[in-house]
Chain A
Amino acid sequence: KNQVEQSPQSLIILEGKNCTLQCNYTVSPFSNLRWYKQDTGRGPVSLTIMTFSENTKSNGRYTATLDADTKQSSLHITASQLSDSASYICVVSAWTGGFKTIFGAGTRLFVKA
Chain B
Amino acid sequence: KAGVTQTPRYLIKTRGQQVTLSCSPISGHRSVSWYQQTPGQGLQFLFEYFSETQRNKGNFPGRFSGRQFSNSRSEMNVSTLELGDSALYLCASSPVTQQGGENGYTFGSGTRLTVV
Chain B's interface: helix, strand, loop or mixed, by majority? strand
Q: Is the CB of B110 within 8 A of A93?
A: no
Whole-angstrom distance between the Cβ of A97 and the nearest chain B Cβ: 8
The complex places the Cα of A99 from the Cα of B50 at a distance, in Å, of 14
Residues of A near B109 (CB, < 8 A) are 41-43
Instruction: Determine whether the beta carbon of B41 is less than 8 Å from that of A105.
Output: yes
- Inside 8 A of A43's CB, which chain B residues have their CB? 4, 90, 92, 107-110
- CB of B104 within 8 Å of the partner chain: yes
**Interface flags, B29-63, vs A, CB<8A=1, else 0:** 00000010000011111000000000110000000
Separation of A60 and B18 alpha carbons in the complex (Å): 44
B102 / chain A contacts, CB cutoff of 8 Å: 31-32, 93, 99, 101
Interface residues of A toward B: which range?
Answer: 10 to 19
A31 to chain B: closest residue by CB: B102
Choose one: A44, A99, A104; the contact of B98 (CB below 8 Å): A99
CB-CB under 8 A from A42, the residues of chain B are 109-110
Q: Does A77 contact B (CB under 8 A)?
A: no
With both chains docked as a complex, state the minimum distance between the C-beta of A77 and any C-beta of chain B, in angstroms: 20
B101 adjacent to chain A (CB < 8 Å):
yes
A105 CB contacts on chain B under 8 angstroms = 41-42
Most buried by B among A43, A46, A49, A89: A43
Q: How far is the CB of B44 from chain A (nearest CB, A)?
A: 8
| Most A-side CB within 10 Å, residue of B102, B104, B105, B108 | B102
Query: Does A79 interact with chain B (Cβ within 8 Å)?
Result: no
B112 part of interface (Cβ distance < 8 Å): yes
Q: Distance in Å from the Cβ of A65 to the closest Cβ of chain B?
A: 19
Give the nearest-CB partner of A42 in chain B: B109
- Please indicate the chain A residues that have their CB under 8 angstroms from the CB of B42 in the complex: 89, 103-106
Cβ-neighbour of B104 out of A46, A103, A104 (below 8 A) = A46
Closest residue to B44 on the A side, CB-wise?
A: A103
Let me know if B104 and A49 touch, CB within 8 A. Answer: yes
Which chain B residues have a beta carbon within 8 Å of chain A's beta carbons? 4, 35, 41-45, 55-56, 88, 90, 92, 98-99, 101-102, 104-110, 112
